[in-house]
Each structure stands twice: as structure tokens, then as C-alpha cells.
């Protein structure tokens, strides 16, 4: 496994704003990317990372919020309920924080690393992380949805 360079908005905003492409085949390269993304996220003390944040424009996300590790390939939000407002930060915007309104409960459908379709329902922090990371796949940063900046 290898630690990857996390793109920063100050230097790499053009890439971070691009829409990621669907994964059409789960290859050994995709599996290595998943492993490297997990290592990179953990090393940076993050709870989520999208492939675009490491310069790969594919619809891949990893999330770990204390409820286990989730690896999503081609994720889609299929259900949202409730509302929560909370502080968010991002590995691509170090030192910045903002209050963001998100759903309180989110269900995501995706493929896992074996190519199997999975559905994961998350509440609170996991729901927030899923929304945040899936936004990255469409070139959206949390500051675009911020209600109040903390810095």
C-alpha cells in the first residue's frame, strides 16, 4: 500500500471541481487504489476520502467513522430523511470549518470491492460523511453548501 498526495483547494481546485467518471470494471488497479485511499485517509486522520481528492477522477469513496470501513464504488444516494446541521472540515481544505445542513439519515447504494451491490444506511456522522464524500464526486465542496463559516 502507498500513501497518496491529497489535493488541496488552494493548489488543485480545478481538479477538485471536476465530475468523476463511473467505474466500469473493478480491476487490480481499482483494488490497489481502494487500499491506498484507506491508508491515506487514516494517515491524515480523516473519516472519508474521495478518489478525486487524490487526483483520480473515478466514482470511488472510502469512509470510516467508527461504524466500520465502507468502500463505495459508483455510489448513489437513494434515500434521505431528516435534517442535521453540524460542523464539517475536509482534508482538501485544511484548517477550514463550516456549519453545513445535511440529511440526518442517508441510504447509499454502491458496489463493494467484489463487485457486489450493497446498500448502507447511515445516521448522523456517517450520513454526513456519505453526503460530503459523494458531493466530491460531482465537484462539490462542503463550503458550497455552508451556512456559516467558522474561520
CA 76 to chain centre: 12
Around 111, how many Cα atoms within 13 Å sit in the side-chain half-sphere?
A: 16
Catalytic residue among 64, 71, 88, 133: 133
Kind and range of the H or E element at 98? Answer: strand 98-102
The yes-or-no answer on residue 67 being catalytic is no
Q: How far apart are CA 25 and CA 7, in angstroms?
A: 25
Question: Exposure of 119 by Cβ count < 10 A (0-12 exposed, 13-18 middle, 19+ buried)?
Answer: exposed
H/E element, 125: helix 124-136
Catalytic center residues: 133
Amino acid at each position: 500500500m502507498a500513501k497518496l498526495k491529497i489535493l488541496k483547494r488552494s493548489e488543485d481546485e480545478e481538479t477538485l471541481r471536476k465530475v468523476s467518471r463511473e467505474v466500469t470494471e473493478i480491476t487490480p488497479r481499482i483494488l490497489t487504489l481502494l487500499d491506498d485511499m484507506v491508508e491515506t485517509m487514516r494517515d491524515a486522520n480523516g473519516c472519508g476520502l474521495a478518489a478525486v481528492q487524490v487526483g483520480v477522477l473515478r466514482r470511488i469513496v472510502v469512509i470510516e467513522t467508527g461504524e466500520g470501513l465502507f468502500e463505495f464504488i459508483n455510489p448513489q444516494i437513494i434515500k434521505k430523511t431528516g435534517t442535521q446541521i453540524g460542523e464539517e472540515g475536509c482534508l482538501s481544505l485544511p484548517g477550514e470549518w463550516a456549519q453545513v445542513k445535511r440529511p440526518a439519515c442517508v441510504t447509499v447504494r454502491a458496489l463493494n470491492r467484489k463487485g457486489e451491490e450493497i446498500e448502507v444506511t447511515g445516521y448522523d456522522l456517517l450520513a454526513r460523511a456519505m453526503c460530503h464524500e459523494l458531493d466530491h464526486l460531482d465537484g462539490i465542496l462542503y463550503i458550497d453548501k455552508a451556512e456559516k463559516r467558522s474561520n
